[in-house]
């Protein structure tokens, strides 16, 4: 008579997956898909290829947006006259002259520098950038440091106020005109080119272009 082996006599044992593991699988899939979507979005809109000189220049410009490259401080002279009448007769004449320190800053709007303004020559390792025209700020008049000279037998309070206001407007116009002086603009452009050149030289070196040079020009040059 054939006997059964001992192991055949026991109940059949089945291995079952833990319920927590079964429930976690769909969530793991969702997490993986979300991570993949985030990586694809970063790759498409944020990531810059390493060693891309144009991309490095664009990134440097995006971080600064607007770059102040030069500041000019000078003095402007304004002079005004005022006449006050008594019973319709002009008898009170006064004059005021002011020497007012003024400051004007010159800026480059780097947000206007797109890829169409940047050119990279891989053979010569030269990066060429064409900048938009310089922008000047509104003159900052330091009237607290102004030197005032007045002339008149009797200067009323209203006359003194009107003379000062007229001189301030006149000084601002003169300062704006002086800021556009060709010699001052030439100094500001030279400073702008050097500032942009230095800002782009470091990213190029980090990208591995040790022989790279940067040529900066302005629109219209």
Sequence-ordered list of residues with C-beta below 8 angstroms from that of 120, at least 6 positions apart, any chain = 53, 54, 126, 127, 128
Closest Cα to residue 158, out of 98, 84, 78, 79?
84
Mean pLDDT of 180-184: 93
pLDDT score, position 161: 92
Per the DSSP assignment, residues forming a β-bridge with 118 are 129
Distances (CA, A) of 221 to 165, 216, 217: 40, 10, 6
pLDDT score, position 70: 94
Over 70: is that where the pLDDT of 166 sits? Answer: yes
Mean pLDDT of 111-124: 89
Closest Cα to residue 149, out of 100, 190, 199, 97?
97
Sequence-ordered list of residues with C-beta below 8 angstroms from that of 148, at least 6 positions apart, any chain = 96, 97, 98, 164
pLDDT score, position 35: 58
212, 126 in Cβ contact below 8 A? Answer: yes
The model's pTM: 0.67
With H, G, I as helix, E, B as strand and everything else as coil, classify residue 13.
Answer: coil
């Amino acid at each position: 008579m054939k006997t059964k082996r001992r192991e055949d006599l026991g109940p059949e044992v089945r291995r079952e997956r833990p319920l927590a593991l079964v429930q976690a699988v769909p969530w793991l899939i969702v997490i993986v898909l979300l991570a993949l979507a985030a990586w694809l979005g970063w790759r498409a809109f944020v990531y810059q290829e390493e060693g891309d000189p144009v991309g490095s220049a664009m990134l440097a410009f995006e971080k600064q947006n607007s770059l102040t490259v030069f500041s000019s401080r000078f003095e402007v002279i304004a002079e005004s006259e005022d006449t006050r009448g008594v019973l319709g007769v002009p008898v009170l004449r006064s004059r005021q002259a002011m020497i007012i320190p003024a400051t004007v800053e010159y800026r480059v709007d780097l947000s206007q520098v797109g890829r169409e303004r940047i050119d990279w020559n891989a053979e010569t390792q030269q990066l060429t950038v064409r900048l938009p025209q310089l922008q000047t700020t509104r003159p900052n008049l330091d009237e607290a440091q102004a030197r005032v000279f007045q002339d008149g037998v009797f200067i009323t309070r209203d006359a003194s106020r009107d003379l000062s206001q007229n001189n301030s407007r006149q000084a601002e116009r003169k300062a704006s005109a002086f800021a556009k002086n060709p010699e001052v603009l030439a100094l500001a452009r030279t400073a702008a080119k050097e500032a942009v050149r230095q800002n782009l030289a470091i990213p190029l070196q980090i990208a591995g272009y040790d022989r790279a040079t940067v040529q900066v020009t302005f629109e219209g040059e």
